[in-house]
Structure 1
Amino acid sequence: MADDRRPVGPGEITRAARASFAGAPDERQRFLLQRLVECLHGYASDVGLTRAEWEAAVAFLTETGQTCSERRQEFILLSDTLGLSMLVDALDHPSPTGATESTVLGPFHVAGAPLRPMGSSTVEQDGSGEPAWVTGTVRGTDGRPVAGALLDVWQNAANRLYAVQDAAQPPGNLRGRFRTGTDGTFAFWSVRPVDYPIPDDGPVGRLLAATGRHPWRPAHLHVMVSAPGYRPVATHFFDRASPYLDSDAVFGVKPSLVADFVPHAPAEPGAPPGWEGTWYSLEKDVVLAPLGDEVG
């Protein structure tokens, strides 16, 4: 019989909590929950977590949940700023040699963006930014062009907001889906993206401010590419001129994804009709790995 006069120690609490999930019928679920208990309890023990700190953490997570809405996912922002989103992406999408590297999907993707003709524009609202002509080729790791690949692209406007954040923008502004040609090429008009802060008026923003971190992301264009027989990739094209490449608030920058937005004078061939200012061009290829080409 157990000695009921002996205090219950931290180890016994951890073992009991872990054992409570032993009957979970799904093996993976059982493993995940038991390891979660071990890691959470281990962290609390290692740092000597106080009740006041635990209560502050619960209050923070509660406010994080209360901040979520149809237009905002504060938990994804929290995951992003802790580097967890990028870690999961790296674990779940290891890049075979030569393939375009992935990065965080982010909270602003919307399924079902307009399917647009090749060479057309994603701009649906004047004042969205300085025009940018984006071109490239989708290839396999064997160098062969991938015909009919689907590009899903989205980005922010000159006011630093994505359409899903800004009720004044049409829902499809700066979004679109394009099919590559028979030679694997793609081309479309968009705008040069601008640096922007992640939403920092909520609990995640206050956490960053309290710890001396900034909320800024370097300017980038989101590109998600898929094709039959290939592993899909969600990636970014980052603007090399951004001052935040080395301090991205969500740790999403990879050197291979940085590219140049080349400036052009209004009179240069290829300028957008009616535009009288500087415009830009960006050339960036995407390389897809075939299905089954796993990193071991």
Structure 2
Amino acid sequence: MRNINEDTITQAVLAAMDQCRDARLRTVMTSLVQHLHSFAREVKLTEAEWFQAIQFLTAVGHITDDVRQEFILLSDVLGLSTLVTAQNNVKPTGCTEATVFGPFFVENAPDYPLGADISNGARGEPCFVSGRVTGIDGQPLAGVLMDVWQSDEDGFYDVQKPPTTDQPHTHRARGRIRTDAQGGYHFRSILAQPYPIPHDGPVGKMLDALGRHPWRPAHLHFMLSAPGHERLITHVFRDQDRYLDSDAVFGVRSTLISDWVRHEAGTAPDGTALDRPYYTLNYDFVLNPAKREA
């Protein structure tokens, strides 16, 4: 491995991996090295540019913590998250499409009974969400665990805002429910609003340098888990949103766009009397059967 130059370095790196016992790891790393080296040659990468890239990635790592996942944001805005999601979630026609996970999911969110208000004090106009979950054969799926999470009307998720006297709860506009015997679900939350992804860090600076905006169209996040079926991670987007065709993370699918219906003040779907307008959303999910082991 002496006297390596720009023409021989790629093969030298690949040869250094000859003893790798993990076939998949070797396949992935071989392709990664080849593409990285080809990229550097194609753009004639300078030392100053490469050092700037290292500084950028270092900054992404420094700002990442238990609340903020800047690497997921970076993957999202480069379209890599959507690409990986799309190629790993090919489903039969009729199944609900998957889309990006996003950086604000929280494990072990509070469990709520059907019909509960999962907003838990989050700011926003009242919204009542309902629908059914079925298999691709149309049969209702009972007991499906549904994780739901969303931002408040200010564009922030609960994990982005510390508890306050007015909003002491850690979990807001987030929760888990289960479908009933007929596959039905319903809960109360708040109206989804468009919001910018966190753009005060290195990813935001990159977007600004590229002339891109950080906005996402209004949406609700869902993760559905049911025995015998593939887990579904998806959003439901609010129709007529101005950012549907320019989502900063490329997550929109036409089949995931639905109408939030506005209602004047009156009796809400859960029987409560509301003195202000409210919204309803009805959306049905269709899950794909899990692949059987060979």
Normalised by the shorter chain, which TM-score bucket?
over 0.9
Report the alpha carbon displacement of residue 269 of structure 1 after superposing the two structures with TM.
5.1
Indicate conservation of the 8 Å contact 1:96/1:293, yes or no.
no
User: Deviation string for 1:169-193 (max 9, x for gaps)?
Assistant: 5222111111111110100001111
Amino acid at match of 1:276: D
Given candidates 150, 166, 170, the residue that maps to 1:155 is 150
TM-score after normalising by structure 2: 0.94
User: Deviation string for 1:134-178 (max 9, x for gaps)?
Assistant: 000001111111111111100011121001111135222111111
SS of 2:266's partner is: coil
Indicate conservation of the 8 Å contact 1:261/1:280, yes or no.
yes
Residue 229 of structure 2 is matched in structure 1 by 230
1:30 has 2:5 as partner: no
1:104 has 2:104 as partner: no
Looking at structure 2, the residues matched to 149 and 41 of structure 1 have their Cα atoms a distance apart, in angstroms, of: 46
User: Deviation string for 1:189-235 (max 9, x for gaps)?
Assistant: 01111111000000100000111000001110001111111111000
User: Deviation string for 1:51-83 (max 9, x for gaps)?
Assistant: 111111111111111111121111111000000
Residue 166 of structure 1 is matched in structure 2 by 161
Residue 194 of structure 1 is matched in structure 2 by 193
Residue 7 of structure 2 is matched in structure 1 by 11
Structure 1 unpaired stretches of 5+: none
Residue 244 of structure 1 is matched in structure 2 by 243
Written as runs of structure 1 = structure 2, the 5 A alignment for 1:12-161 is: 12-125=8-121, 128-161=123-156
Residue range with higher mean Cα deviation, 164-173 or 192-201: 164-173
TM-score after normalising by structure 1: 0.93
Looking at structure 2, the residues matched to 283 and 88 of structure 1 have their Cα atoms a distance apart, in angstroms, of: 29
Number of residue pairs matched? 289
Looking at structure 1, the residues matched to 268 and 243 of structure 2 have their Cα atoms a distance apart, in angstroms, of: 32
Amino acid at match of 2:145: L
Structure 2 unpaired stretches of 5+: none
Residue range with higher mean Cα deviation, 7-16 or 128-137: 7-16
Looking at structure 2, the residues matched to 204 and 166 of structure 1 have their Cα atoms a distance apart, in angstroms, of: 20
Looking at structure 2, the residues matched to 122 and 99 of structure 1 have their Cα atoms a distance apart, in angstroms, of: 26
What is the root-mean-square deviation in Å for CA atoms of aligned residues? Answer: 1.8
SS of 2:98's partner is: coil
Residue 210 of structure 1 is matched in structure 2 by 209
Looking at structure 1, the residues matched to 54 and 269 of structure 2 have their Cα atoms a distance apart, in angstroms, of: 56
